[in-house]
A and B are shown apart, each in its own frame.
Chain A
């Protein structure tokens, strides 16, 4: 019995830590949606791009690690910023599907570019953090995952503070609430869109570094983007704590389901149990666990 319990505990720890890393990617997604109501279908490709940048910088000769990490974040901020300016701003006020489609187009571009510029090889993101797993009772956790969890929690605290307390954050919430009214109140809406994308760039950069270290960097790194949807829907598309809680739940459910249900049904439940959970949740809370309820008026 004790061993069973230990096993269960290990599963939960493993699921929770990986779930937090899903949350990290989801944060980039939520930040954009929260401010601009744009759904970024290229989130996985953003992570991949950041991974490529980080891989190139970290393996460059004579580049200190800290500088390389900062430069990665800076480049991703610049990229997101430029992207908002060139692609998404002209689509402002256009139907939501147009924005979705633009991000799908962007995803195609981002998948096409690395083989030309970086080559098809799988690259690594070497980080000086060692390989020795940390123990947590009977469970162990890889160092990169632990750092990932810490970063996610820091982001959670930071972004929550930003939206709740800082002047800019409050303004951004106003923009999200109603763009027209925000404009009328003298808020420079476009500027806040740019800030939101830049913040998403930070989240993407950090996701790229951490996931890149875990998986290696090639075009397939973009697949991690698929994991974002159940996380954000469960938590609510526009909620930062929601992204984290959603990630935790999805990670743990995946982990436990695959160990306890798979043997009976032939495997692969990990793939859709989170979605089942999500649909169930949506039937009762159509805007996610933490999402803002919208009241429609005719």
Chain B
């Protein structure tokens, strides 16, 4: 399970920056491929696949937000609004023009990227927390626009039903079929992000985050790269929104309100800013923790409470435990799950000879 680096030496910069740091990694990728493509869908019931599907969709969104917040250092509280832009773009295209998902999905992403770049314009002047609130304004204005323009929202209900995605005339609708649909885009997003952050653009982002004035001095066009960061991040958000749309069969802006933006921020902060693994862990953590808490409470709860008290207590305790765990995590390990994981790994890497 743990790679040992011994015997591997890097002799070129290209080698150091390679996607697979170690030759053995290739083997693990194949093993993972088999696990996720063959084993998981065969063994797991629909219920577990539905949870994995939801986690994978949120991973796409979390990766996007991490590019903006974690890598470029621009705080955004408007991420969910870009998801709704993607969702409504795709839904309108799918319903009015009868376009298939492989057209609507990138179209939704691109529209979100465009809107994201516009919302990112204030980043030219505004920084840090002030920018966070400017993006909050973006969130509210996008929500309002969708709610009030029937041409976008499809009527007073502001929800557009979309047909299930189909591939070669074959409709994807069970959790198992949707699993492959979502898995494909989730893996694509992960690989794309890994490649992005080691590219020229990715390094420019990090330079801006670490010290924007210095970055400008060494010749990085800050404004351009900030807008690129907003656009790329929103593209992911848009794709995430389209995935939600196809997954639920409906585009509805009420799925993408302010609280969702904050949930996604929670994911990347808990997972670890500026880390791909962090985005994945954080998305899984935020999605799974409530389930784990509920399951544990349902198992041990009846020992302490009556059946009529229990549901209320589970709901409230879940919030309390969730909040408390976030705080405990932050106090113990402010750099998130990613760092926690690295600590564990580093411990075992040299185990049992810790020096």
Contacts and interface: CB of A to CB of B under 8 A. Distances in A.
A and B touch in the complex (CB under 8 A): yes
A278 B262 contact: no
Contacts of A230: 133, 137
Interface in B309-355: 312-313, 315-320, 322-327, 330-331, 334
A11 interface: no
A116 B317 contact: yes
Contact of A120 (B125, B147, B266, B312): B312
A155 interface: no
A233 interface: yes
Contact of B322 (A108, A283, A287): A108
Given A272-B140, A298-B214, A109 B133 contact: no
B305 to A, nearest CB: 11
A42 to B, nearest CB: 9
B148 interface: yes
A38 to B, nearest CB: 10
A282 B125 contact: yes
Given A97-B273, A101-B270, A276 B141 contact: yes
Interface in B237-264: 258, 262
A51 B45 CA distance: 46
Nearest to A229: B133
Contact of B330 (A101, A271, A275): A101
Interface string A255-294: 0000000000111110110011011001100111000000
Interface stretch (A86-94, A185-193, A206-214): A86-94
A138 interface: no
Interface residues of A, number: 49
Interface in A32-67: 39, 41
B122 interface: yes
A279 B262 contact: no
A18 B7 CA distance: 70
Contacts of A265: 148
A108 B323 contact: yes
A107 interface: yes
B323 A115 contact: no
A98 B70 CA distance: 12
B251 to A, nearest CB: 20
A296 B130 contact: no
Contact of B320 (A87, A112, A120): A112
Contacts of B270: 101
A95 interface: yes
A102 interface: yes
Given A105-B330, A282-B130, A113 B320 contact: yes
B211 interface: yes
Contact of A104 (B140, B262, B317): B262
10 contacts: A41-B262, A96-B128, A105-B326, A108-B319, A112-B323, A229-B133, A268-B144, A269-B144, A276-B141, A296-B213
Given A282-B122, A283-B126, 13 more contacts: A41-B262, A97-B273, A102-B330, A104-B262, A107-B323, A109-B319, A110-B323, A113-B320, A115-B312, A116-B316, A271-B144, A275-B137, A298-B211
Interface of A: 39, 41, 87, 90-91, 94-98, 100-102, 104-113, 115-116, 120, 226, 229-230, 233, 237, 265-269, 271-272, 275-276, 278-279, 282-283, 286-288, 296, 298
Interface of B: 69, 75, 122, 125-130, 133-134, 136-137, 140-141, 144, 147-148, 211, 213-214, 217, 258, 262, 265-266, 269-270, 273, 312-313, 315-320, 322-327, 330-331, 334
